[in-house]
């Protein structure tokens, strides 16, 4: 089963291009959203393995969305988030922040966020997503963790069940 991804960006052209690119590379794009409220709804409904979040969501902040998803994934309690959307039931997904701007422009904010990492939009690929998620699991930093079976869904990886045989 492929890695399931939710794309969150306020640019429709980017969403379309990123979806086509990632699906060609073996990632299943389960859904797309362009606002915090839409992303929270999609994440709860679709339960993706990873959420790619644009740092600049128009008038909203990708950093805020990353914090809301982290809070939901950590405790599963119902809390207010983004335009009155109630969240809960624990969204367990890694978050990767993305931007057309360079990482150095946001370095401190990225470091303080619960995100697994950052990808510069021109570098977006299934391989780079896999590298970030693998690094997050190895380092064991706080934040999201892929469920044990999801790591086998990363492109180019055997499932853990197959690895034990």
Specify if 23 maps to a domain.
yes
pLDDT single digits (tens) 75-90: 444 333 444 444 445 5
pLDDT single digits (tens) 52-105: 999 999 999 999 999 999 988 654 443 334 444 444 455 678 999 999 999 999
Specify if 74 maps to a domain.
yes
Q: CA-CA distance, 154 to 149, in Å (whole number)?
A: 10
Specify if 132 maps to a domain.
yes
Contact (Cβ atoms closer than 8 angstroms) between residue 127 and residue 115: no
Phi, psi of 98 (to 5 degrees): -130, 155
What's the count of helices (H) and strands (E) in the chain, helices before strands? 6, 9
Output the domain CATH number for residue 19.
3.40.50.2300
Specify if 61 maps to a domain.
yes
pLDDT of residue 137: 55
Residue 4 pLDDT greater than 80, yes or no? yes
Domain count, the chain: 1
Specify if 101 maps to a domain.
yes
What integer best gives the mean pLDDT of the chain? 79
Q: Which residues form the domain of 70?
A: 4-159
pLDDT of residue 91: 64
Specify if 88 maps to a domain.
yes
Q: What is the pTM of this model?
A: 0.75
Q: CA-CA distance, 78 to 101, in Å (whole number)?
A: 33
How is residue 78 written in tokens?
A: 């119902």
Specify if 50 maps to a domain.
yes
Specify if 164 maps to a domain.
no
């Amino acid at each position: 089963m492929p890695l399931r991804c939710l794309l969150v960006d306020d640019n429709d052209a980017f969403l379309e291009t990123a979806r086509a690119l990632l699906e060609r590379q073996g990632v299943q794009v389960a859904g797309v959203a362009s606002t915090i409220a839409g992303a929270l709804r999609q994440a709860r409904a679709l339960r993706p393995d990873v959420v790619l979040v644009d740092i600049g969501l128009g008038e909203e902040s990708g950093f805020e969305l990353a914090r809301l998803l982290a809070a939901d994934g950590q405790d599963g309690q119902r809390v207010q988030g983004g335009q009155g959307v109630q969240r809960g039931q624990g969204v367990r997904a890694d978050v990767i922040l993305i931007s057309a701007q360079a990482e150095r422009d946001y370095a401190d904010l990225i470091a303080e966020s619960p995100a697994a990492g950052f990808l510069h939009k021109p570098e977006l690929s299934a391989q780079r997503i896999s590298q970030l998620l693998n690094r997050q699991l190895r380092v064991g930093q706080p934040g999201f963790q892929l469920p044990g079976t999801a790591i086998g869904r990363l492109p180019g990886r055997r499932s853990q069940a197959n690895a034990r045989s």
